[in-house]
Amino acid sequence: MAVIHFYKYQGTGNDFIMIDNRQEVVDKTDLALVKQLCHRRYGIGADGLILIENSQETDFEMIYFNSDGSKSFCGNGSRCAVSFANYLGMVGDNAEFKAIDGFHEAYIMQDQVFLRMRNVEKVEQFEEDMFINTGSPHYIRFVKELAAMDVVEEGRKIRNSELYKAEGTNVNFVEPTQEGKLYVRTYERGVEDETLSCGTGVTAAALASTYLGYSSPVKLLTPGGQLQVAFKTKGNDQFTDIYLSGPATFVFKGEINI
């Protein structure tokens, strides 16, 4: 039996287990272990597990797992990973790291972590709905009375539809507020439930909102807190210099026997 030291972080309620894996203390092919650690009854509990590893090309590599063991890119997880790497002394206020979707830059300013997302070159439209890949796939639907919506039921229908059943998709329900912000609730694939926040999801929602007349920067409210997305537009359906920003908060640290 081995003892693993871990750290818990959260970004607007999106919570993650962080492990310094530069010495390869965790076998990243052990998906059963990932599921066990993320289980909210039998493990530490989290939306995802993040391993920080050495990289010859960048400051570090982030290996991200959803709670079901699947891999994807995670915006809030990336911001938390940068904060954790800063805590470990691997980076200062500026960082470059490798993720499943390529290389990313980020910087820390006070209690906010700014993450540069990959460029978006295509927006698919389905009548009034949209699909945008911001490192992870997102289906976006603008709705009314979002607070009362059953996001899990409605999100699961879209996620398991014939179009997305094979690969899955995240589903974002978005409602403009009177204050000019966007209220966003997300059904996440890989967690297969609603999460309190989703970084790639609010990014997709912010880009989609330009079709309603919104412009950069866009402030977004999630059940877990507030985020902001800044970007530049480049022609039709193209966005560059996309930055997701918000808090990345250390919660606690501990150890677990595996």
Q: Which residues are known catalytic residues?
A: 74, 198
DSSP state of 150: -
CA angle 71, 203, 66 (to 5 degrees): 20
> Could you tell me whether strands 60-66 and 48-53 are parallel, antiparallel, or unpaired per DSSP bridges?
antiparallel
CA angle 73, 182, 11 (to 5 degrees): 40
Written as one string, the DSSP assignment of 9-20 is EEETTEEEEEEE
Residues constituting the chain? 258
Instruction: Please say whether the beta carbons of 87 and 47 come within 8 A.
Output: no
* Cα distance between residue 245 and residue 206, in whole Å: 12
DSSP state of 209: G
Instruction: Please say whether the beta carbons of 115 and 82 come within 8 A.
Output: yes
* Core vs surface per residue 227-245: b (16+ CB within 10 A) or e: bbbebeeeeebebeebbbb
Hey, what's the torsion of the CAs at 149, 210, 191, 189, to 10 degrees? Answer: 100
**Residue (of 174, 170, 193, 196) closest to 184 by Cα position:** 174
Torsions phi, psi of 247, nearest 5?
Answer: -75, 150
Instruction: Please say whether the beta carbons of 217 and 205 come within 8 A.
Output: no
